[in-house]
Amino acid sequence: MVQGVPRHISLGLPERAIIGMVHLQPLPGSPRFAGDLDAVEAAALADARALAAGGVHAIMVENFGDAPFHATTVEPVTIAAMSRIIHRIVEEVDSPVGVNVLRNDAAAALSIAAATGASFIRINVHIGSMMTDQGLIEGDAAATLRLRESLRCGVDGETPIAILADVGVKHAFPADPDWMLEREAMDCWHRGLADALIVSGTGTGNPTSEVDVARVRAAVPEATVIVGSGVDNDCIGTLLGIADGAIVGTSLKSDGTVLNPVDVELVQQLMKASEP
């Protein structure tokens, strides 16, 4: 009998995992693209190498520079450019690589991951709906899970691509006036079948509430819980006492500025601070 996909896919990461961010510069087709994709790729590879040299456990790549973002479906050129760059990163680093296609193109993220050998994706709105600067965004877990099943070409040709899903995603607020963080977390895990839940602050680089992380942990104690923003040397120890891992970007950049290059010394300092 053919075995089905497990209810939840293991990320294969250690406890207290640190996922470092590669924020791509504007890509072709976006308003601020500078006209040189080779330079965008070179900057992304430099950041990925710095993150790997600093000791992160995984790397996430997103089209951060493409603002303003499409709400859901991105243009084909975005998928092509991200596939080119992410394939190079997968080839060059030993750590698992993830994909986030902003603002919420789960199909593109899965397709890029399947084509490049990336291990996981991030979906900002996996279930329910959120009001964002792109308007109302609605999750489509049913379509995402079915697409993943149809691809069947994870990192080793067998293991499905893991899905990291936000709950109470940043740069947004709930469309449902009766929304509760705990209820979204439970639905995202049990009904949306996400493989990890991401809890963030209000925006990129903004601190994540320890209370919110604890609320999600209490609501779904069996879930993998990841802190999604505002992580630095001062708070990493406390947050990893509650969560299983953290996605870190801004605090690893030179001068703490999100658009600056990754500083390998800052990565090493954070990795040391993350130790129990």
Domain edges within the chain: 17-273
17-273 folds as TIM Barrel (3.20.20)
Determine the average pLDDT of the residues in 13-29: 97
How far CA 43 is from CA of 62, 90, 133, 159, 229, in Å, comes to 13, 15, 27, 30, 22
Which runs of E-coded beta strand occur in the chain?
Answer: 17-23, 58-62, 97-100, 120-123, 129-132, 135-138, 162-167, 172-174, 196-199, 225-227, 245-248
Determine the average pLDDT of the residues in 75-102: 98
At residue 219, the pLDDT reads 98
pLDDT of residue 2 exceeding 60: no
Determine the average pLDDT of the residues in 178-184: 94
Q: Chain-wide mean pLDDT for the chain?
A: 94
Question: d(Cα 15, Cα 245) in Å, to the nearest integer?
Answer: 7
Q: What is the pTM of this model?
A: 0.94
81, 35 Cβ separation under 8 angstroms: no
Question: How do residues 101-160 score in pLDDT, each as one tens digit?
Answer: 999 999 999 999 999 999 999 999 999 999 999 999 999 999 999 999 988 765 555 678
Torsion sign, CA atoms 229, 62, 23, 15 = positive
250, 258 Cβ separation under 8 angstroms: yes
Name the percent of the chain lying above pLDDT 90: 87
At residue 1, the pLDDT reads 32
At residue 153, the pLDDT reads 62
DSSP-derived pairing of the beta strands 245-248 and 17-23: parallel
At residue 7, the pLDDT reads 82
Both tokens of 42, joined, read: 């070179």
